[in-house]
């Protein structure tokens, strides 16, 4: 399950959907994979290769699943954060 490393907090992605159109952001570079961008208020997505995944539902450790807009109101997820796979 993918997660973000925000200091000591890990936030599992519970639901995501492919972004059908190119995201409104700078050109994607190979090192951008896993980077978070915020295309609009209450929206978050992560770069995956030449495309992106729209994040729909996230969960803080010990918390409940939240729609991304609600999660963003109370979390420190910011543009440029990177999602990582546990290894």
Q: Return the C-alpha torsion angle 7, 68, 79, 36, nearest 10.
A: 90
- Give the CATH number, domain containing residue 14: 3.10.25.10
- DSSP assignments along 31-62, one per residue: GGTTBEE--STT-EEEEETTEEEEEEEEE-TT
β-partners of residue 4 are 83
> What was the pLDDT predicted at 80?
85
Instruction: State the CB neighbour count (10 A cutoff) for residue 57.
Output: 15
Q: Tell which wins on pLDDT, 76 or 17.
A: 17
Those residues with Cβ within 8 angstroms of residue 65's Cβ, 6 or more apart along the chain or in another chain: 14, 15, 57, 58, 59
Q: What is the pLDDT of residues 21-77, one digit of tens each?
A: 555 555 555 567 888 888 888 988 888 877 788 889 988 878 889 999 998 887 767
What range defines the domain where residue 35 resides?
A: 3-84
Please name the residue that has the structure tokens 């059908």: 20
> What was the pLDDT predicted at 29?
57
Q: Read off the pLDDT band of 5 (50, 70, 90).
A: low
Q: How many domains does the chain have?
A: 1
> What was the pLDDT predicted at 9?
56
Q: Read off the pLDDT band of 8 (50, 70, 90).
A: very low
């Amino acid at each position: 399950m993918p997660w973000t490393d925000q200091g000591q907090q890990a936030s599992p992605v519970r639901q995501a959907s492919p972004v059908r159109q190119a995201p409104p952001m700078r050109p994607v570079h190979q090192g951008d994979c896993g980077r978070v961008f915020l295309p609009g208020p209450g929206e978050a997505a992560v770069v995956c290769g030449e495309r992106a995944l729209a994040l729909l539902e996230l969960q803080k450790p010990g918390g409940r699943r939240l729609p991304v807009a609600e999660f963003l109101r109370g979390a420190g997820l910011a543009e440029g954060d990177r999602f990582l796979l546990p290894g």
